[in-house]
Structure 1
Amino acid sequence: MRILMVDDHPIVVSGCRAMLAAELDCTIIAADSMQEGEVLATSDALDLCIIDLNLPDGSGFELCKRILANNPDMPIVIFSMNDDLVFAARAIELGVAGYVSKAGDPSELIAAIREVLRNGVYLPHRIARSLAFSRRNSSDGAWNLLSRREIDILRYLGQGKSLSEIAPLVGVSYKTVANACVIMKRKLGARTSSDLVRLAVENRLAVL
């Protein structure tokens, strides 16, 4: 089995190489940048990719998009220090098969690899439970309360744009966008701007 690991931290790569060699019959091909990872992903016969989100020349999300555009069936596991629910939801929305936090138990990475190679989806229990809880408690009827402009603003939030970037895109002032966010929080039962981003991603409003 050949695994591409894209991560710019040599200690992480070295540790994973040793751990995976002990648990799986695999060869690790390492890349330390988005550009190198994309080249290796398209030139090597791979069984799986492990990708960090924070790369020196770009986003791990962008690399995932490029790899999946070229090979939609490629199993990808995100391996990141960021265990925020929003990022995990965005990864799954992109088509990534697994999401593992570097702060978690190392065995989770092994479990994720085995699961996605069986064509499954892997999320740590805490993240999976939080996602399920948030979806179970979201009210579908609340979306009917949003105006077309509010939906557009929410979609741009899901794409990672700031309020100042969104304002000219929807043809209103920064203050109007900020006020719209306050109103949307009330309508959707969200407490923070991060909650709005999560809702946008989970409900497929964001074009990622």
Structure 2
Amino acid sequence: MMRQFFAALLRDQMQLEVVAECGTVAEAIEAIRRTEPTLVVLDWALPDGKGFDIVHALGPQLRRTRWLCVSSNEQEHMIKESVELGVQGFVLKRADVETLRKAVNTVLEGGTYYCPQCAQLYMNAMRSQSTMVASNLSPRERQVLRAYGRGENMKAAAARLNINVKTVNNLMSSIREKLGIQEPAALVRYAIKHGYAEEP
């Protein structure tokens, strides 16, 4: 039902050529390889797998093909996986027609479009990931990050924590590695955002 709806939207309302309609991952892979379309509209859930299986299989080969995923599932991990795969667009099936039009046009024009709900889900996923990563910091690393976030110089932090400056620098290197943040300003922003700049 949804497949026919999207085909009609693309063909009848947006005057785009629909070269194939497929109901399974296997059918889609065969059709996409044969036609090399400009845009592929994917359903996340298919009888023999996920729409992302198609992107995994063909994405690296078809550099000119753009990908737009639609789904009724509102799960953070799904949106995160979509971004990591390089899928250019994601909208929920409950989106109105104008949102669908905007998504198709934006992706076809070379842009990226994630509907507001999907964008929020992605932000939630990244926030959860940051919290999980931060939980891997040792108590001493948290102390050093707190000092860094408050703007305390490393020599003063070392004296206050009763450790030497070299140890502080080593701890800072470990913090950057664990958080995946090398830029000093970005690390300060992280510390402030996650409460490390506040007094304990």
Asked whether the two chains share a fold, i.e. TM above 0.5, the reply is yes
Q: Residue 78 in 1 paired to residue 80 in 2?
A: no
More contact order relative to length (CA 8 Å, sep ≥ 6)? 1
TM-score between the two structures when normalised by the length of structure 1: 0.58
| Structure 1 residues 66 and 143: CA distance shift in structure 2, 3 A | farther
CA distance in 2: counterparts of 1:78 and 1:16, whole angstroms: 12
**Equivalent residues of 1:42, 1:70 under 8 A apart:** no
Answering whether residue 39 of structure 2 is matched by residue 48 of structure 1, we say yes
Deviations 1:20-61 (A, max 9, x none): 234312122201111110011111041100011111112211
Tell me, yes or no, if structure 1 residue 145 matches structure 2 residue 110: no
8 A Cα contact 2:39 2:66, kept in partner: yes
Name the larger-Rg structure. Answer: 2
> Which ranges of structure 1 fall in alignment gaps of 5 or more residues?
1-10, 147-187, 189-208
Residues 34-113 of structure 1 aligned to structure 2 (within 5 Å): 34-113=25-104
Distance 1:21 1:73, change over 3 A: closer
**TM-score after normalising by structure 2:** 0.60
8 Å CA contact retained: 2:38, 2:64? no
RMSD (CA atoms): 2.5
Q: Is the 8 A contact 1:80 1:100 kept in 2?
A: yes
Percent identity, please. 25
The separation in 2 between residues aligned to 1:143 and 1:74, in whole angstroms, is 39
Gaps of 5+ in 2: 139-178, 180-200
Residue 94 of structure 1 deviates from its aligned partner by: 0.7
Q: 1:61 to 1:31 in 2, by over 3 A?
A: same
Kindly tell me the number of residue pairs found equivalent between the two proteins.
137
Conservation of the 8 A alpha-carbon contact between 2:77 and 2:125? no
Write the letter of the residue equivalent to 2:96: D
